[in-house]
């Protein structure tokens, strides 16, 4: 809890699916909490993610009324390590091939995490990616331009 004004709504599996106020996730193990992202490698949908030690998020809506979509706005995030782990299933199915690459740089832009990966299969070296969190610990990943540096105040 941050200030006692939070409300979390859980599904039948114990995962938070909605809420109000800022919610803080803190890892109890040194390896951190795993945040999973779905993305494409060589045209195939695959999964990969980062490990966080601490994150503060808030559920927000992109409008008002019945057509407004909920999303997760990230206020603060601390990585547990600088690794991005992923698994790719081959053309014939079977066991996935796992890999890991270095998270070189991170940035929070408009509530979304952007990070630069040193070498992700199917992407150019030092490619930037932007996250879209549907839930605090899962979302999608898309190729992104490098974030613009903050403007002086």
Q: Return the closest-CA partner of residue 100 out of 91, 89, 87, 113.
A: 87
Residue with tokens 């929070």: 108
Specify the DSSP element, H or E, that contains 23.
strand 22-26
Show the CA angle centred on residue 37, arms to residues 36 and 43, nearest 5°.
Answer: 140
Q: What is the residue-level pLDDT of the chain in tens, covering all 153 positions?
A: 455 666 666 767 666 667 777 888 888 888 888 999 998 887 788 899 999 999 988 888 777 888 877 788 899 999 999 999 998 877 777 788 888 999 999 999 888 999 999 998 888 899 999 988 877 788 888 888 877 765 666
3-state helix, strand, coil in the chain (%, to 5): 0, 65, 35
DSSP state of 148: P
């Amino acid at each position: 809890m941050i200030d006692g004004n939070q409300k979390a709504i859980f599904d039948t599996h114990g995962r938070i699916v909605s809420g109000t106020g800022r919610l803080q996730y803190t890892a109890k193990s040194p390896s951190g909490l795993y945040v999973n992202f779905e993305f494409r490698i060589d045209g195939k949908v695959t999964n990969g993610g980062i490990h966080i030690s601490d994150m503060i998020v808030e559920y927000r809506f992109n409008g008002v009324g019945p057509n407004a979509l909920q999303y997760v706005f990230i206020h603060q995030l601390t990585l547990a390590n600088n690794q991005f782990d992923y698994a790719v299933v081959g053309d014939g199915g079977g066991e996935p091939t796992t890999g890991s690459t270095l998270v070189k740089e991170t940035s929070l832009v408009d509530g979304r995490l952007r990070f630069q990966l040193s070498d992700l299969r199917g992407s150019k070296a030092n490619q930037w990616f932007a996250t879209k969190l549907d839930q605090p610990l899962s979302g999608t990943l898309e190729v992104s331009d490098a974030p613009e540096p903050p403007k002086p105040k």
